[in-house]
Amino acid sequence: MSSTKKLIVGNWKMNLTIHEASVYVHHLVTKVQSHRDVEVVLSPTMLALQPISLQIDRRQFKLAAQNFYWRDHGAFTGEVSASQLRGLVDYAIVGHSERRHIFHEHHKEVRSKVQAALRNNIKPILCVGETAHERMSGEMRDVLHDQILGGLTNVTSSDMSEIVIAYEPVWALSDGTNYSEHKVPTPDDLKKAIGTIRNQISHLYGEKASKEVRVLYGGSTNGSNAASFLSVEGVNGLLVGGASLNQHEFVKIIETAHGMESK
């Protein structure tokens, strides 16, 4: 598998005010070492992106948008476009299960957002993952296939180097606080899901793309279980929710990623 840097993304979801986010980052910069083998990305509320961009050194932290609208401009009251985020963020989360399930975003929106991010020089982090029901019904493979195909339709081979895929089984996501005791996939479960994702990329874009695409795991990760996920073959990093709001946990995850050999 690829020997890329580990990618650790903190998705703060709808938490922290602008002031709280700024205080959090103020402390985080003193605790997170810059490591050449780990890329750390912060994904705060949209409102905090600009102030945090002025607070951070882009060599230490990169920024990701949690969401955006796929049109570049126009009469879309209340929306923010990828073209408005251009230059401010390096990444954007697309197809998160909370957007799919709560805001009813389907393949069409997801693929339009992937395209909008790419044309604005923003790397999409495409989230895929099955629900508990789909897992119980043996549909994990089909769901991942549909979500990958749905999101990547219109993505060319040369775009693939910009794409990150995050496997986030919906049944493993915490509510933001119970990430230490929540159910998570076993290393075997995870290996199977990552294998499914990489196989499909191979089918669509060839062997090289399948080895090189960065694939993250997300779902109740924390400082104590990060190593077990990061050591699964084909996992290039973590998309961290609840634990990224706890400095101790988040720093521990980054330090765990540091020095772990990519498989």
Binding-site ranges for ligand 13P (CB under 6 A): 11, 96, 168, 173-174, 176, 179, 218-221, 239-243
- Give least dist CB 138 to ligand 13P, A: 23
Contact 124, 90 (CB under 8 A): no
- Give least dist CB 182 to ligand 13P, A: 7
Q: Which two tokens stand for residue 222?
A: 């924390």
| Amino acid identity for residue 42 in this structure | L
What is residue 185's DSSP assignment?
-
The SS3 of residue 7 is strand
- Give least dist CB 158 to ligand 13P, A: 27
- CB count, 10 Å around CB of 6? 26
- Is 122 or 209 the residue whose CB approaches ligand 13P more closely? 122
Contact 94, 125 (CB under 8 A): yes
Q: Give catalytic residues, as residue numbers.
A: 96, 168
- Is 94 or 209 the residue whose CB approaches ligand 13P more closely? 94
- Give least dist CB 243 to ligand 13P, A: 6
d(CA 57, CA 73): 29
- Is 200 or 221 the residue whose CB approaches ligand 13P more closely? 221
CA contacts within 13 A on the Cβ side of 192: 11
- Is 115 or 225 the residue whose CB approaches ligand 13P more closely? 225
